[in-house]
Structure 1
Amino acid sequence: MIVHTATAQVTVVLAQVQVKPDDSKAPGINALKDLVNGLAAYAVIAAVAAVLLGGIAWALGERMGLDRASTIGKSGVLAGFGLAFLVGAAAAVVNFFLATGATASSGTPDQPKALDRPAVVRTLDPGDHDQTPPPWPF
């Protein structure tokens, strides 16, 4: 006995959507860029202030034996460095993920991946009914 399997393929074609950022198509883009650059400047100034104030608190806390002030000063210095790193790396990280996302693909709809052949094919001879079937997998 030969078992035949048939697979049905349904292809749904939707409109292809493409996203390509273009500065010339966005009204007010220059004002938005200026706003983001201004926020980045404020963040860099805040990072410098955090490093300076944290350093002062750390030094005075160590000098005066105030462990809590010293710990808070260390945290302030680390937070200032972290903020400066985030401001500097933000554009590079966003551009990396934008470029990576642009290369993503959903595959081609005319080549099915899992439905092209049956998973298991077993041919039985009609005279083999008295034998036990082989153990799994076939």
Structure 2
Amino acid sequence: MIVDAASARATGLLLASVQVKPDETKAPGINALKDLVNGLAAYAIIAAVAAVLLGGIAWALGERMGLDRASSMGKSGVLAGFGLAFLVGAAAAFVNFFLATGSTASSGTKADSTNGMRPPAIVRTVDDPAVVHDEPSASS
């Protein structure tokens, strides 16, 4: 009884149309937030350059002096610096890609008569009367 009431309530809530459309004009202080994010990105790029430089120094000295631990840590530092620079540079592109992909998603409730099934991806029609299709045999 409680489960039926809860599912009826949830169904009622799911029928409400909820839409999310980002609008910069509706957000107070958006310019300050953009400036903050751009400042953090600048700090991250400086940290990435420092990681590449310090990692390169540790890698070179570790290889030259026979210090395997310093050499491997230097390699890790160089790779981490490059990875950080890549993420900072690609973050906006990744977020915009997933925002665009998510905005094309549907709720799965269609008003058409497909009974909830998707149409076939490929429909092939043959208009040639010479093409005759036999009934499938029982052996195949």
* TM-score, normalised by the number of residues in structure 1: 0.70
| Residue identity in the other structure for 1:53 | L
Between 1:10-19 and 1:81-90, the stretch displaced more is 10-19
Structure with more relative contact order (C-alpha pairs < 8 Å, separation 6 or more): 1
1:51 aligns with 2:40: no
| Residue identity in the other structure for 2:22 | P
Q: Secondary structure at the match of 1:79?
A: helix
Higher share in helix? 2
Question: Corresponding residue for 1:5?
Answer: none
Question: In the aligned structure 2, how far is the partner of 1:42 from the partner of 1:12?
Answer: 44
Number of matched residues?
Answer: 106
* TM-score, normalised by the number of residues in structure 2: 0.69
Question: For the Cα contact (< 8 Å) 1:61–1:68, is it kept in 2?
Answer: yes
Question: Corresponding residue for 1:41?
Answer: 42
- Runs (4+) of structure 1 exceeding 2 A deviation are 10-15, 107-115
In structure 2, stretches of 5+ residues that fail to align are 1-10, 118-140
Question: For the Cα contact (< 8 Å) 2:51–2:78, is it kept in 1?
Answer: yes
Q: % of aligned pairs identical?
A: 82
| Residue identity in the other structure for 1:113 | N
Deviation at 1:17, TM superposition (A): 1.4
In structure 1, stretches of 5+ residues that fail to align are 1-9, 116-138
Q: Aligned pair in 2 of structure 1 residues 55, 28: CA closer, same or farther (>3 Å)?
A: same
| Residue identity in the other structure for 1:104 | A
Deviation at 1:13, TM superposition (A): 7.4
Question: Corresponding residue for 1:77?
Answer: 78
Question: For the Cα contact (< 8 Å) 2:110–2:116, is it kept in 1?
Answer: no
**How much is the aligned-residue C-alpha RMSD, in angstroms?**
2.3
Question: Corresponding residue for 1:91?
Answer: 92
Q: Aligned pair in 2 of structure 1 residues 13, 38: CA closer, same or farther (>3 Å)?
A: closer
Larger Rg over CA atoms: 1
